[in-house]
Amino acid sequence: MFVDSHCHLNYLENPEAALARARAAGVNELLCIGVEQAAIEEVLAMAENHSGVWASVGEHPGSCSGDAAWVNRYLDRSDVIAVGEMGLDYLYVDDNKARAEQRHTFAQQLQLAENHALPVIVHTRSAEVDTLALITEFPKVRGVLHCFTESWAMAEQALAEDYYISISGIVTFKNAAQVREVAERVPDERLLIETDAPWLAPVPHRGKKNEPGFVADTAKFLADLRGVEVAELAQFTRENFFRLFNRAV
């Protein structure tokens, strides 16, 4: 019923048990996200060993090595359905050189995505202008701004570049008015849902480790917010997932 479009299954203590609980909650399909070279074999093993689990390969700005060329090695595998996560996170990075390295590895990965006709998974925080500038430089590349917490103005510009917006459990948090505004306004055909597990467990699981099954709670919250039935929201977010990540079959 539900798809978790973004989780880090390999960082959960017991992925097998979490997958069993996810299935019981109606979550049969999920995308396990790569963020760094050191853990990529674990991410690929998740996809290899489980049906309904796919992988992405990328270098997160938080683990920026300055050269993301290694990503290319994995992009011809049938179970790798996206490049990422990649992007820009300036929140705790004031240094211009470090920011420039983030932009360089982001651009490298956008180019790899274009070369392989794969969609991208973009992490963006406190870097609206530079993120939009870079995705605009690669007009053939489609993707998603995941765990979106930025302004509606940014979301609108990303939508105009044919990007999707993914909403995480943050939308259920008390102080998340800006995320709720975006979550209400994104058109049905561009909305994705995710956990970003093991981080950011939604209400009513706060304080626990997040896991893919909890995307059902975020879906219910979003359905209420948007005034639709949860089954309808589950269906169109699932269709969106398979339209964007069209290597997933």
Between 24 and 91, CB nearer to Zn ion: 91
d(CA 98, CA 95): 5
Cβ-based nearer residue to Zn ion, 59 or 196? 196
Q: What are phi and psi of 206, to 5 degrees?
A: -60, 140
Residues 192-211 that bind Zn ion (CB under 5 A): 196
CA distance 159 to 152: 10
Phi-psi category of residue 59: left, alpha or beta, with phi > 0 → left and psi -120 to 50 → alpha: beta
Alpha helices in 6-116 (DSSP H): 15-24, 40-49, 96-116
Write out the two tokens for 248.
């997933």
H helix or E strand, kind and range, residue 196: none
What is the nearest approach in angstroms of Zn ion to the Cβ of residue 123?
A: 7
Q: Which of 200, 194, 219, 186 is nearest to 82 (CA)?
A: 194
Q: How far is the CB of 232 from Zn ion (least distance, A)?
A: 26
Tell me the site size for Zn ion, rule CB under 5 A.
Answer: 1
Residue 4 or 196 having the CB closest to Zn ion:
196
- Which residue's C-beta sits nearest to Zn ion? 196
CB of 198 to Zn ion, least distance (A): 10
For residues 46 to 65, the per-residue mask of contacts with Zn ion, x marking binding by CB under 5 A and - elsewhere, is: --------------------
| Tokens of residue 4, six digits | 């978790």
How far, in Å, CA of 158 to CA of 131, rounded?
9
Looking at 71-79, 86-94, 191-199, 235-243, which segment touches Zn ion (CB under 5 A)? 191-199
Q: How far apart are CA 54 and CA 72, in angstroms?
A: 17
Identify which of residues 63 and 235 has a Cβ nearer to Zn ion in the complex: 63
Closer CB to Zn ion, 10 or 108, in the complex: 10
CB of 84 to Zn ion, least distance (A): 9
Length of the chain: 249
Q: In angstroms, what is the minimal distance from the CB of 110 to Zn ion?
A: 18
| Distance in Å, CB of 144 to Zn ion, minimum | 11
Q: How far is the CB of 170 from Zn ion (least distance, A)?
A: 12
Q: Token digits for 200?
A: 């950011």
* For residue 198, cis peptide bond before it (omega within 30 degrees of 0): yes
Spell out, one character per residue from 146 to 185, where the chain touches Zn ion: x when CB under 5 A holds, - when not.
Answer: ----------------------------------------
Instruction: Sort residue 214 into left (φ over 0), alpha (ψ -120 to 50) or beta.
Output: alpha
Q: Which stretch binds Zn ion (CB under 5 A): 66-74, 105-113, 190-198, 203-211?
A: 190-198
When the beta carbons of 5 and 172 are compared against Zn ion, the nearer one is 5
> Which residue, 196 or 217, is less far from Zn ion as judged by CB?
196
Q: Which residues bind Zn ion (CB under 5 A)?
A: 196
